[in-house]
């Protein structure tokens, strides 16, 4: 007899899926690695799928509706904003995710971006590479000790970042709608955080309420000497407003690992600005975190299809209510 069902992997940023194939084959499941992640391609491939594993591809209502035998969707990652969760829930399809696999990595990356901005690392590096040797390229540079970091979103990653910077003598302010989340951090409202912080780091999910959170009004409330850091989701930031703030001096600089469109178009307004640091959505990555992510995502598929409770189900509460 052949494998019991097909698992569709929509996309991945690593070279091969041999680890996933091996783990799923042990549960009598075969894998289809999508050659393209556009909606039409995924619709056609999903028609035979009993499970979908997705990294960044959009698992739209149409893709889900094209899969009559679909039993679950597994996200390689923390957020599920690329998945039509409500459509899945209406069909009683669990959506799994891995919310805690890269806590240290993202916090470390946010810290690296913060230090890079504060010390002018990228500006100095570009200057030296171009033949320069000038202190003034990134001036003024201020001591990090004694400055203030505002953390917007005090979940696992935000709290880990707070622990890291406290050891550097940095004051920490936290804003989160959930008072219980702000533990061991001075809790303030968003206006107070923006007014007092030298660095503002975003650690909130992308939801309808947070999309475009960083708009012109947000940026004008920050210090003109302040820096914005985003390792969360690109859709949190209005990049046109941010580019204007950086060009007109409302803000000293920004460091972004995520953008609304990835990769960014050639005319992205942030490209080419010397007070911006950009990295290609890599804050989640270390060899350790990537291995854990792949194993745990595949294991969630095995568990759900075997009738066991998966480690993390995003829409568990909604499923318990019958999808309503």
State the catalytic residues.
Answer: 233, 262, 281
Cβ–Cβ < 8 Å for 235, 206:
yes
Q: Which residues contact 282 (CB under 8 A, 6 or more apart)?
A: 109, 257
Q: Which residues of 247-257 are buried (b: 16+ CB within 10 A; e: fewer)?
A: eeebbbbbbbb
Phi-psi region of 6 (alpha: psi -120 to 50; beta: other; left: phi over 0): beta
DSSP 8-state assignment for residue 315: T
Beta-strand (E) ranges in 176-315?
Answer: 186-187, 199-202, 227-230, 253-256, 276-278
Cα distances (Å, whole numbers) of residue 100 to 79, 195, 251, 286 = 11, 31, 32, 14
51 strand-pairing partners: 7, 72
Q: Six-digit token pair at 159?
A: 């709290």
Cβ–Cβ < 8 Å for 293, 98:
yes
DSSP 8-state assignment for residue 13: S
| Residues counted in the chain | 324
Rg (CA), the chain: 21
């Amino acid at each position: 007899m052949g494998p019991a069902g097909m698992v569709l992997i929509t996309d991945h940023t690593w070279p091969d899926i041999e680890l996933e194939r091996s783990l799923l084959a042990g549960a009598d499941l075969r894998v289809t690695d999508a050659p393209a992640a556009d909606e039409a391609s995924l619709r056609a491939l999903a028609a035979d799928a009993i499970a979908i594993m997705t990294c960044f591809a959009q698992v739209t209502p149409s893709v889900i509706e094209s899969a009559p035998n679909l039993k679950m969707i597994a996200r390689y990652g923390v957020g599920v904003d690329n998945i039509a969760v409500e459509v899945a829930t209406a069909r009683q399809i669990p959506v799994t995710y891995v919310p805690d696999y890269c806590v240290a990595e993202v916090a470390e990356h946010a810290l690296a971006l913060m230090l890079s901005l504060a010390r002018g690392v990228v500006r100095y590096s570009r200057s030296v590479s171009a033949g320069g040797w000038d202190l003034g390229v990134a001036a003024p540079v201020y001591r990090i000790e004694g400055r203030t970091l505002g953390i917007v979103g005090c979940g696992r990653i935000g709290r880990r970042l707070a622990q890291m910077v406290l050891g550097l003598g940095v004051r920490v302010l936290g804003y989160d709608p959930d008072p219980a989340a702000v533990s061991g951090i001075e809790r303030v409202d968003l206006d107070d955080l923006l007014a007092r912080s030298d660095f503002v780091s975003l650690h909130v999910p992308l939801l309808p309420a947070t999309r475009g959170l960083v708009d012109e009004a947000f940026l004008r409330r920050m210090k003109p000497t302040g820096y914005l850091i985003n390792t969360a989701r690109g859709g949190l930031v209005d990049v046109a407003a941010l580019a204007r703030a950086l060009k007109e001096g409302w803000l000293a600089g920004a460091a972004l690992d995520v953008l609304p469109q990835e990769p960014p178009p050639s005319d992205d307004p942030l490209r080419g600005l010397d007070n911006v640091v950009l990295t290609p959505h890599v804050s989640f990555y270390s060899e350790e975190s990537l291995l854990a992510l792949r194993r745990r995502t595949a294991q969630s598929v095995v568990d759900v299809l075997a009738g066991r409770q998966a480690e993390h189900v995003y829409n568990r509460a909604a499923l318990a209510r019958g999808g309503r």
